[in-house]
Structures are given as structure tokens and as C-alpha cells.
Amino acid sequence: MYGIVNKAIEELVTSNFGLEKWEAVKVRSGIDIDFFISTQPYDDEITYKLAQAVSEEMEMPVAEVLQAFGEWWVLKTGKEKYGGLMQAGGQSLKEFLINLPEFHNRIMLIYPQLTPPEFQVSDIDESSIHIHYYSKRQGLQEFVRGLLHGLGKLYNCPVNVGLLESRLSGQDHEIYKVSW
């Protein structure tokens, strides 16, 4: 993953718990990197180790850490780093979710070595939509759930996010039902 992801984890921890807690997370993770360069690719294992260390240091389940990080990614990192792209995604939550499959195509112009997930939509209804999430990366289901909750908050539209299908139960991708 690109350094921007690891920097966002650092910002989430330092903003909410302080620099000392971030230093404790780094020690616990075994990651000896003073600072992450946003545009530089890093091994995915670094990100997974940081998430696990945050979980242990904060005494929170990893799933809760990933959900919190997903919300942070949308509400803080997304707005600050990709404000124009986020706004171009749509004027409402529903419109943004319908356009979500195209979002990473634009991001790849900024990060050419990006290995993005793929999103598809189906079952578009007046007050719900199914989001299909495909990724080579395992274990990020709760991060995506956090992203979807963050998008609801961004659009001032509270959402319920249910996981209908998962790779953990033998499927080839996750399917979320987002209702508002």
C-alpha cells in the first residue's frame, strides 16, 4: 500500500491519542520507519502490522480499529487529499455509491503503482444499494464497512451497512447492503 495509508493510520492515532501512543504502536508493531512518504509504495504487511499493533495498544478488536480507520479515511484523509475527486463522485450518498466503481480509475492517475480494489453496484433501490467489493487483499472487510459509514457521515445520511456475503464464508468477494 502507498505511504498515504500508513500516514493516515499515524494521523488517526496521534489525533485521538497523542504522539506517545503512536510511538508505542510503532514499537509494538516492530516497524522502524520514522515517517511514511505518501507517494511511496510500502509492503502491505507494514499496514497490517500497524493495524494489529493499534488493536493491541488500544485494547480494541482489530475489526473496530479497521472500521474507525475506514471512517477516518473518508472524513479526514479523503476530504483533505482527494477533495475534488470526492466532490466529483456525486451530490448525494446514493449518487456517490453508484459512481464508486469509477473512483479508483481516477486515483490511479495519482498513484500509478496502485493495486486498487474493484467495486461494483447492484440492486439499486430508493433507499439501499448493494456494493460488491473485490480485492486481492484479505481481511479488510471491516475497513470497507467503515468507509461506507464514513461516506454516510460525509453526506449527512446515516446508514446501516450489512455484510451479505464474504470471502470468509467461501465467496469470491464481499457484498454489502447499504441502507439509508
Q: Is residue 85 part of a domain?
A: no
Q: What pLDDT is stored for residue 100 in this prediction?
A: 93
| Structural domain boundaries, residue 165 | 91-179
pLDDT (tens, 9 = 90+) of the chain, 180 residues, equals 889 999 999 999 999 999 999 999 999 999 999 999 998 999 999 999 999 999 999 999 999 999 999 999 999 998 888 888 888 889 999 999 999 988 877 777 777 777 889 999 999 999 999 999 999 998 999 999 999 999 999 999 999 999 999 999 999 999 999 999
Which of 140, 154, 144, 153 is closest to 176 using CA atoms?
Answer: 144
Q: pLDDT at position 113, please?
A: 77
Domain count, the chain: 2
CATH code at position 144: 3.90.1520.10
